[in-house]
Structure 1
Amino acid sequence: MLLRSSWTPRLASNGTNATERVVLALADDIVEGRLAGGDRLPAHRDLAKTLQIGLGTVTKAYAILERRGLTRSVKGRGTFVAIHQAHGDRQIDLSSNAPPAALGARVLARTLTGIARKIDADHFNLYAPPGGHLEHRRVLARWLETIGLVVDPSQLVLTSSARQALSLAFDLVCGRQGVLLTERITYPGALALARRKGCRIQGVEMDAEGMVPQALAQALDGVAPAGGTAVYLTPTLHNPTTATMSAKRRRAIVAVCRRAGAWIIEDGVYAAASDGLPQLATLAPDITLHVNGLSKSLGPGLQVGVLALPPELCGPAQDLLQDVPMAPSAFSCAVVDEWLATGVVASVQRDLRHEARRRSRLAVSLLGASELVWHPDAYNVWLPMRRDAAEGVVSAATHAGVKLTPPQTLMANPKDKASGLRICLGGPSLDELTGALALLATLLKRSA
């Protein structure tokens, strides 16, 4: 004998037809936690009779809910809530822009075996020079060549993360009371770093390719810094909007900065997806500081950052590093060396690209493509909206057990009214992601 459903049938007050009213009523009760994962829904005929609607209407509504990932049907048993709510201890995190998991235990075991045969014990017995061992800088220079950036190892500084490399870049060319121009909406980690360092942040207008050269030129004309002037931007898969600059746009940005005498800080952590587009550091090596790291392109556990510098900044960087050395672990550098030699780097990047595309398509299918901004190789999607609306969705999602990036952390100008939702796709399992996106789709529909 089948158990009865605990749901009290109702129709939502809004909705254009009976099908949509059933969908909204059930989706709301799932999102709000009134129905828990595993709860049974009423049988089709029972619900149709109770609500005095057609059987076909109920069947269509249940099919929509299943496509959104909110329910699942089991042959011979009925329809059940598919989402396990996280109102208690655990949230599904869509706020951290991490890559999907791509490394298996077998690859790691082979890596450890390979490292054991050739690792240099001196790298463990001695302190590293401030910018990293020369051998490790050569390894990272080889890795940068895979994204089309050729740099002399003597112009590289190695750090324990890309964020450390970015912090050092800010210290070198912007500093306290300096002016940092960046995209109007940008990477929250960069904004937080710059604010802590006392930089004066100025947002620059964007379009579908990222920072607009004419807007940057106008902004630089009005700059009167007490310190340095730097332009921070992400030309490939911009975080959070996923915009990627064409080669023409990159050259235009370089030309504007060169005329204004401004330094460029290029965030290249997603540059592995640039498909032959030139890095800004290739176009203007004398004025560009290129920031990169391995956590986005290979895996979060590989904590190696790298900063490629113009020759005139190598000395000042070494001076700063005397006080706060940032060199990565010898073990992490040995892993990179082994993976470059054995082809693992290329293999992992192919796997990450495949998984990013699968997750992007999932997001588009559940959230809709009309307003969503996305790129098949990005680990996030972007949904532009007013700041107050975005804050409301973030709050509702938190209550439903889904963590999103607060919109104000992405804004160069905290008073700007335009913002949006950064929805990160890489961290959760595919099942968790499906459930979280389904919940988010319901919240967005209700908000609209």
Structure 2
Amino acid sequence: MTLLGPLLMRLQSPWTPRLADRDGTIAERLTSALAGDIIEGRLKGGDRLPAHRDLAWKLGIGIGTVTKAYAALDRRGLTRSVRGRGTFVTISQAHERRQIDLSSNVPPSVLGERLLARTLAEISRKIDVEHLTLYAPSAGHMEHRRIMARWLDMQGVTADPAHLVLTGNARQAIALAFELVCGRDGIIMAERLTYSGAIALARRSGHRIRGIDIDAEGMIPEALASALNHENAVRKTVYLTPTLHNPTTATMSSSRRHEIVNVCRNANASIVEDGVYGFAMTDLPPLAALAPDITLHVNGLSKSLGPGLRIGVLRLPAGMMADAETILRDMPMEPAPLSCALVEEWLSAGVIASIQGDLIHEARRRSDLAASLLGKAGLVTHPAACHAWLPAERTVADRLHSAAAAVGIRVTDPRTVMVDGGEPESGIRLCLGGPSFDELTEALNAFSTLANNIGQ
């Protein structure tokens, strides 16, 4: 007995029996209670679950109900049964599994090796060697700016190449735009939930940033007008993503776009339009087409062709080029000449429209999958978007973020998309483009379980 006593104590379950406060059968409520405590770390890897008979007696339920719940946990990979010893938590094994990344907002891979090989063979015969052996002008080679002007024209943005700045990516273009129109004495108005990179850039550069209320179409004009009217800053800038807003997927109607432009004109505010998702919905007018004199249009190729194509572009209103070139002399941002040559070849061959069509088709397949698995939890999707949004109270979103990490799924930290970190409402952005379709299915199934257990 003296030797057996410590062993029995070590094998005692640390779990306090309970049923989850939710609708469903007794077995489903027991499964939910145990899964939630495992996922949120109240039960650790290696912890023993109560014996079937003991748990059934304490909860006043049948042994068969306990067996059914334990089997469900085993199927989810949260526990394992050892003959003669009991059922144990296996969450520690999840930490050692590969991570599936749903935090990086990249498009699905649709570029084939044969296409790339043919393209490289073609540009090897055409590329201007001076583009590789000499420094580029601060805003980029004029030849490359003409190429990007053609590409923008496909999206409804008319651009004079002389008013374009080429950068290494769209994020650099945003940074340059903020510096040009905001400076140290201005303020940036943005959707209260917005692109994490823009928030980080604003804060790192010392720009003030304020969140504006949003609805199903994005930024609310009346809320923006009120904020602009009560702001005494010397320079006022409105940063927004009108098409497939990141992170919520909201898309402004044509009438909403006109309203936003009118509000900005009345308040003498500049617009920084993030148009990186505009390629997917070219039937709606870009803000740069409605108000070219006050809009700085940001775009890039990473979202519309592939993340390895690091080319950003900033379309400027007339009169801003000299200031941009002054900044760029101290902080050069020009893209790689080979990337520009590749885009030129694809434009000439008419390949870009085909690539983007494949991307939109794959985005629909993935958003349909996400909606089928998480639609009942309130997931917001758009058939042309490679990201989806699960609205949630901030505390719930934080728990989901931590729980997903515990089972090998990386999702966007809710804090990073919030302009005001103290707000009670946030959510989880799920990026659908990076993993293989099978990995995405696995991750979304697991995340669906988390969402159900943590209260979505």
Normalised by the shorter chain, which TM-score bucket?
A: 0.7 to 0.9
Deviations 1:374-398 (A, max 9, x none): 1111111111111111011111111
Matched, 1:389 2:400: no
Structure 1 position 238 matched with structure 2 position 245 = yes
CA–CA distance in structure 2, aligned partners of residues 373 and 136 of structure 1:
38
CA distance in 1, matches of 2:363, 2:212: 28
What corresponds to 2:3 in structure 1? Answer: none
Structure 2 equivalent of residue 52 of structure 1: 64
Deviation at 1:69, TM superposition (A): 11
Cα deviation digits, residues 253-272 of structure 1 (max 9, x gap)? 00000011000000000000
User: How far apart are residue 150 of structure 1 and its match?
Assistant: 1.2
Residue 183 of structure 1: which of 169, 191, 201 is its match?
191
Give 3-state SS (helix, strand or coil) of 2:428's partner: strand
Counterpart for residue 13 of structure 1: 19
Matched residue SS, 2:95: coil
SS in 1 for 2:327: helix
Distance 2:178 2:74 in 1: 48
* Counterpart Cα distance in 2 of 1:271 and 1:378: 11
Distance 1:297 1:85, change over 3 A: farther
Tell me the distance in 2 between the aligned counterparts of 1:434 and 1:24. 21
Match among 134, 143, 154 for residue 151 of structure 2: 143
Which residue of the other structure, out of 432, 441, 445, is the alignment partner of 2:448? 441
Distance 1:302 1:13, change over 3 A: same
Q: Give the residue type in structure 2 aligned to 1:405.
A: T
Equivalent residues in 2 for 1:356-435, closer than 5 Å: 356-369=363-376, 371-435=378-442
Q: 2:141 corresponds to which residue?
A: 133
| Structure 1: gaps of 5 or more residues | 1-7, 37-49, 71-82
Instruction: State whether residues 35 and 453 of structure 2, in contact with CA within 8 Å, keep that contact through their aligned partners in structure 1.
Output: no
Q: CA deviation at 1:89?
A: 6.8
How far apart are the structure 2 equivalents of 1:319 and 1:30? 56
1:1-36 alpha-carbon deviations (Å, 9 max, x no partner): xxxxxxx9x998336215635764896699689999
Quote how far apart the aligned CAs of 1:249 are.
Answer: 0.5
Of 154, 160, 172, the residue aligned with 2:168 is: 160
CA distance in 2: counterparts of 1:325 and 1:315, whole angstroms:
14
Residues 188 and 410, structure 1, Cα contact 8 Å, conserved in 2? yes
Tell me the TM-score normalised to structure 1 length.
Answer: 0.85
**Cα distance in structure 1, aligned partners of 2:191 and 2:331:** 29
Corresponding residue of 1:194: 202
Q: Tell me which amino acid in the other structure corresponds to 1:291.
A: V
Instruction: Provide the residue aligned with 2:328 in structure 1.
Output: 321
Q: Secondary structure at the match of 1:243?
A: coil
Distance apart, 1:292 and its partner CA? 0.3
Matched, 1:291 2:298: yes
Structure 2 letter corresponding to 1:256: V
Question: Is the 8 Å Cα contact of residues 377 and 452 (structure 2) preserved in structure 1?
Answer: no
- Aligned residue for 2:96, secondary structure, equals coil
RMSD: 2.8
TM-aligned CA distance change 1:51 to 1:264, over 3 Å: same
- Distance change (3 Å), C-alpha of 1:299 and 1:385: same
Greater displacement, 275-284 / 294-303: 275-284
Amino acid at match of 1:185: L
Post-superposition CA distance 1:265-311 (Å, at most 9, x none): 00000000123111100111100000000000000000000000001
Q: TM-score, normalised by structure 2?
A: 0.83
Q: Which amino acid aligns with 2:212?
A: V
Q: Quick one: structure 1 residues 318 and 69, their matched pair in 2 at CA, closer, same or farther if it must change by over 3 Å?
A: farther
**Conserved? CA contact 2:19–2:30, under 8 Å:** no
Relative to structure 1, is the Cα distance of residues 115 and 392 closer, same or farther in structure 2, using a 3 angstrom cutoff?
Answer: same
How far apart are 1:126 and its partner, in Å? Answer: 1.1
CA apart distance, 1:240: 0.3
Where does structure 2 lack aligned partners over 5 or more consecutive residues? 1-12, 47-61, 79-90
| Distance across 1 between alignment mates of 2:359 and 2:35 | 32
Structure having the higher Rg: 2
Matches within 5 A, 1:203-222: 203-222=211-230
Mapped contact 1:177–1:198 kept (Cα < 8 A): no
Query: Which residue identity is paired with 2:302?
Result: S
1:267 to 1:24, Cα distance in 2 relative to 1, 3 A: same
**When the two structures are aligned, how many residues end up with a matched partner?**
410
SS in 2 for 1:217: helix
Are the aligned partners of 2:194 and 2:247 in contact in 1 as well (CA < 8 Å)?
yes
Q: Match for 2:326: what amino acid?
A: D
Mapped partners of 2:281, 2:92: distance in 1: 38
Q: Is the 8 A contact 1:98 1:427 kept in 2?
A: yes
Cα offset, 1:409, TM superposition: 1.1
Q: Which residue of 1 aligns with 2:59?
A: none
SS state at 2:298 partner: strand
Counterpart residue number, 2:101: 93
Counterpart code for 1:166: I
SS in 2 for 1:93: strand
